[in-house]
A and B are shown apart, each in its own frame.
Chain A
């Protein structure tokens, strides 16, 4: 089968390879990792026939050059792209001719994804190519000068605009469940949780996103370390709130005042600096039914994305990126 290469000409400091993640190892200090925006990642994979390892990028974007043979790719998340100087936007599947330079920039959020129609060669750790960024374990961080080998590469897919996910607009109200360490906060601070206005800050990485807002200092900071989860709203000693995301610490001694429900976590993590966010406290029962409903809606949408993957009609073979340019 065909082998292509994807040369990384430029890459921001938070760029890495990710697959769907590595659950099952938290007891050994290993969070699941995987994409910070799981829906955008899944759409990119679905739009390129399904090989799990994709590139996650962030601040600074990245520049890719396909080499060896044409390579079909999908671009999703909070990014916009240009190919050889032609703006193609975001949420699209295109085919890069050999030598074509694809420049990807952040747009309206923090995390973007590029999946390719083919298998990116990457080391697996504990059965997954997801990168634990701090440790560098898994598929690995991506830096300028690297060249990724793509096995079973396809360059024959038709370009298409990838439909936006359900509730694609920036999230304004994140639903959360109080606790589990809410006992470390005074009642008036707990009362502020669902009335206060918070905002995304510019301080984020794969472990979390700092949220600006009223300080919510804990009553004590002598908590024995307790387990933590993705979505936890952790309060540091100064009362500053952070949302824990894909590479979160599995245990820690800062109290978590509340935990954002699964369907809302990644949408908060995508908020650009300054974007407002409020919290709505809900019950555990409500969180489960909302999570199930969101899962069903996401599955239907991903099936719709996948149904649009098809080979390019022969007549368009010479105009590789035109199909998407025309839609923008």
Chain B
């Protein structure tokens, strides 16, 4: 394993870049460093942001600097992160009727039956790689190969909060009503972002997600 590269990010942050592509081994190193920093924070640490292959470390430039933070990172004892043991969330999804406006188009595009699309989505073992785009938008990797298709050419409006959608290797549960070019294949009553809650975000980066199937009656019940 090569050590990550530490790059300055403006006047108040350092990026630990592990290089490479999107995969579980690289990501496990991102999460391991994130956890080690949380256990042994350097002076002036404000927050961290994990992503697929890198970890952003934001610091207070009045209290520390890039060199001191990078030295702390290099000296950290970083125990490996066991992502297999991460928290697993069971997320109920309705794949029927108005809850799944694009599922027939996805099936037609992939040459599968609608039931095969649902079965493929349910079979996936998903990983929360990172949040981005907007509050609570958690990017889940792990969409099975048979279910991967490029996003739509143009964004479509009017999808409800809780839409379960896929594009390429990624799956996402929406927290806002936003136009999207992703394919909406279901709807969940679960809320990744619950603004009024004590714990407003359902997932931590690194967590696992499995989807379970529910009926339209259960979705609205």
Pairing of A with B? yes
A residues with a Cβ closer than 8 A to B are 23-30, 125-126, 132, 134-135, 137, 176-177, 179-180, 224-227, 229-232, 249-252, 256, 259-263, 284-285, 287-288, 290-292, 295
Judge whether B201 is part of the interface by a CB distance below 8 angstroms.
yes
Given contact pairs A135-B176, A137-B195, A225 touches B61 in the complex (Cβ within 8 A) = no
Note all chain B residues with C-beta closer than 8 A to A26: 47, 49, 56, 58
User: Is B132 a contact of A252 with CB atoms below 8 Å?
Assistant: yes
| Inter-chain residue pair count (beta carbon < 8 A) | 147
User: Is B49 a contact of A250 with CB atoms below 8 Å?
Assistant: yes
User: Is A180 a contact of B135 with CB atoms below 8 Å?
Assistant: no
B residues with a Cβ closer than 8 A to A are 7-13, 15, 17, 21-22, 46-56, 58, 61-62, 65-67, 130-139, 175-176, 178, 193, 195, 200-201, 205
Note all chain B residues with C-beta closer than 8 A to A180: 7-9, 15, 17
- 26 of the cross-chain contacts (CB-CB < 8 Å) are A24-B46, A25-B135, A29-B132, A29-B133, A29-B134, A29-B135, A30-B135, A134-B134, A134-B178, A135-B175, A135-B176, A137-B135, A137-B195, A180-B15, A225-B132, A225-B139, A226-B51, A226-B53, A227-B51, A227-B56, A249-B134, A251-B49, A259-B8, A290-B11, A291-B11, A292-B62
User: Is B52 a contact of A225 with CB atoms below 8 Å?
Assistant: yes
User: Is A135 a contact of B58 with CB atoms below 8 Å?
Assistant: no
With A179-B7, A226-B51, A262-B11 already in contact, 12 other A-B pairs whose C-beta atoms are closer than 8 Å: A23-B46, A23-B58, A27-B131, A28-B136, A29-B135, A227-B54, A231-B11, A249-B132, A250-B131, A261-B10, A285-B65, A291-B11
Residue of A125, A256, A288 touching B11 (CB-CB under 8 A): A288
The binding surface of chain B is classed by DSSP as: mixed
Note all chain A residues with C-beta closer than 8 A to B132: 29, 225, 249-252
Given contact pairs A224-B53, A229-B56, A249 touches B133 in the complex (Cβ within 8 A) = yes
Given contact pairs A26-B58, A134-B176, A229 touches B9 in the complex (Cβ within 8 A) = yes
User: Is B22 a contact of A224 with CB atoms below 8 Å?
Assistant: yes
Closest to A224 in B: B52
Note all chain B residues with C-beta closer than 8 A to A132: 134-135
A230 to B49, alpha carbons, bound, how many Å? 13
User: Is B47 a contact of A27 with CB atoms below 8 Å?
Assistant: yes
A231 to B8, alpha carbons, bound, how many Å? 13
A290 to B130, alpha carbons, bound, how many Å? 32
Tell me how far the C-beta of B218 lies from the nearest C-beta in chain A, rounded to whole angstroms.
Answer: 28
Residue of B12, B137, B138, B205 touching A262 (CB-CB under 8 A): B12
User: Is B11 a contact of A177 with CB atoms below 8 Å?
Assistant: yes
Closest to B54 in A: A226
Tell me how far the C-beta of B58 lies from the nearest C-beta in chain A, rounded to whole angstroms.
Answer: 7
Note all chain B residues with C-beta closer than 8 A to A230: 10
Closest to B138 in A: A29
A262 to B12, alpha carbons, bound, how many Å? 8
Tell me how far the C-beta of A181 lies from the nearest C-beta in chain B, rounded to whole angstroms.
Answer: 9
Closest to B26 in A: A224
